[in-house]
Amino acid sequence: MSNNIPENLRYSKDHEWVLVEGDVATIGITDYAQHSLGDVVYVDLPRSGDSFNSHEAFGSVESVKAVSEVFTPVAGEITEVNDALNDDAEKVNSDPYGAAWFIKVKMENPNEVDKMLSAEEYEEYLSANA
């Protein structure tokens, strides 16, 4: 399987991606994660204003196969939630790096992103754990 791993993002070993813009991190799940889950039917997301520590579960993704928790790779306060996924959870399968972002977080410590995997490191991680 060829992996779709955009170069401009950072990745967690839990298969979340982060796009950093200043001190705001946009978070979603990777193409690998959505492919592993199968057809996504429901996404449970938190509310704006909620705060999370890094590596804390902030929601879940339900597919025809399973329910999986989603973890925030960085600590901070949620500034925006992608409510469009409430009515269109399938977008997680069709556009995991675009329209299907989950949350935006104002990071407490933007340096946390430096501990995440680059696209190349994430690809190596997937290959080693295939």
Instruction: Order across the sheet with 76-81: list the strands.
Output: 10-11, 16-21, 24-29, 103-107, 76-81, 51-52
What does 10-78 look like in DSSP terms, one character per residue?
A: EE-TTSEEEEEETTEEEEEE-HHHHHHH-SEEEEE---TT-EE-TTEEEEEEEESS-EEEEEESS-EEE
Q: Calculate mean pLDDT across residues 79-89.
A: 96
In percent, how much of the chain has pLDDT > 90? 95
**What's the pLDDT at 17?**
98
Report whether pLDDT(37) > 70.
yes
| DSSP-assigned beta bridge partners for residue 60 | 44, 69
